[in-house]
Amino acid sequence: MREALRLAAFAASLGEVPVGAVLVLDGQIIGRGFNCPISSHDPSAHAEMVAIRSAARQLGNYRLPASTLYVTLEPCSMCAGLLVHARVERLVYGTSEPRAGVAVSQQHFFEQRFLNHRVIVQGGVLATESQTLLRDFFKTRR
């Protein structure tokens, strides 16, 4: 999670919303990402999406079983769907996202019975650090 926080801080330095993510397999980081939809002109360039795309390319597989995604902010619906499609085993996130988070805040997406894959969810890891990054970023924007 500390590496995800470092990536989130880097995103903030670029003027992007400070969210960072790393995908880990067998104790090794296999994908890194930070929010970059503004600079990449890509609305799907959320930290989770970037990290998972990077890992899939590195492994040469669109399925990432037994992996864990660490992300500083509770995922949105797009990223939650991606975790299921990529078969990520576990999600660990920092702070909740009351307006758009779907792990627990707006919906318990990963508990939906129609899903063909279950993601184990753990929230609140280094939540204070994640909240501080976001709060400080938005203070400068307002």
Number of domains in the chain: 1
Q: 55 in a domain, yes or no?
A: yes
Could you confirm whether 74 is annotated as catalytic? Answer: no
Q: 142 in a domain, yes or no?
A: no
What are the beta bridge partners of residue 21? Answer: 33, 71
- pTM of the model as a whole: 0.96
Residue 54: which H helix or E strand, with range? helix 47-59
> What confidence tier does 141 reach under pLDDT thresholds 50, 70, 90?
confident
Q: 103 in a domain, yes or no?
A: yes
CA 32 from chain centre, in angstroms, equals 10
Q: 141 in a domain, yes or no?
A: no
> Taking Cα atoms as reference points, which of 16, 89, 82 lies closest to residue 52?
82
76 is in an annotated binding site: yes
CATH of the domain at 53: 3.40.140.10
Statement: residue 13 has pLDDT above 80: yes
Residue of 48, 74, 97, 129 with catalytic role: 48
> What confidence tier does 84 reach under pLDDT thresholds 50, 70, 90?
very high
85 is in an annotated binding site: no
Calculate the average pLDDT of the chain: 97
pLDDT single digits (tens) 49-58: 999 999 999 9
In terms of residue numbers, what domain contains 95?
Answer: 1-136
